[in-house]
Amino acid sequence: MPLDAGFSPNRHGAVTMVGYPLVELLAAIGLRHARPHRGTRLSYRYAAWGMPLPLPLARAALGCPDPIFPGLPLRRFHMTLGWPGQEGQAKCITRVDEETPT
């Protein structure tokens, strides 16, 4: 049965779930094709804005490494990822820091 073919973390007490809440939030608001700016293999930058934007502009604002919309209030963040298990497998977010405006 298809219901019995999956993996249930509820049945494995030793498993610590690592989630991707940012990805889930972006998908929920319609930014499923948006991507943060990739710095290195385990480093990304992204921006959050404080006003409604049309989706095409929101996608650009999220992943833009430098301000491209003058006057748009953006908060920029640097996200560091790590390997929760074996290197080369799934990555997880280990730290997010807000960049100070220059």
User: Is residue 88 included in any domain, yes or no?
Assistant: yes
82-to-19, 23, 58, 93, 98 alpha-carbon distances in Å = 13, 16, 27, 6, 18
pLDDT in tens, 38-70: 888 889 888 777 778 887 777 777 776 566 667
pLDDT in tens, 66-91: 666 677 777 888 889 888 777 777 77
Please tell me the total count of domains within the chain: 1
- Structure confidence at residue 33 as a pLDDT band (50, 70, 90): low
Would you state the pLDDT for residue 70? 72
70-to-19, 47, 67, 73 alpha-carbon distances in Å = 34, 14, 7, 9
User: Is residue 14 included in any domain, yes or no?
Assistant: no
User: Is residue 22 included in any domain, yes or no?
Assistant: no
User: Is residue 79 included in any domain, yes or no?
Assistant: yes
- Range(s) of the domain holding residue 44: 36-102
User: Is residue 13 included in any domain, yes or no?
Assistant: no
User: Is residue 78 included in any domain, yes or no?
Assistant: yes
Q: Determine contact, residues 44/38, Cβ cutoff 8 Å.
A: yes
User: Is residue 85 included in any domain, yes or no?
Assistant: yes
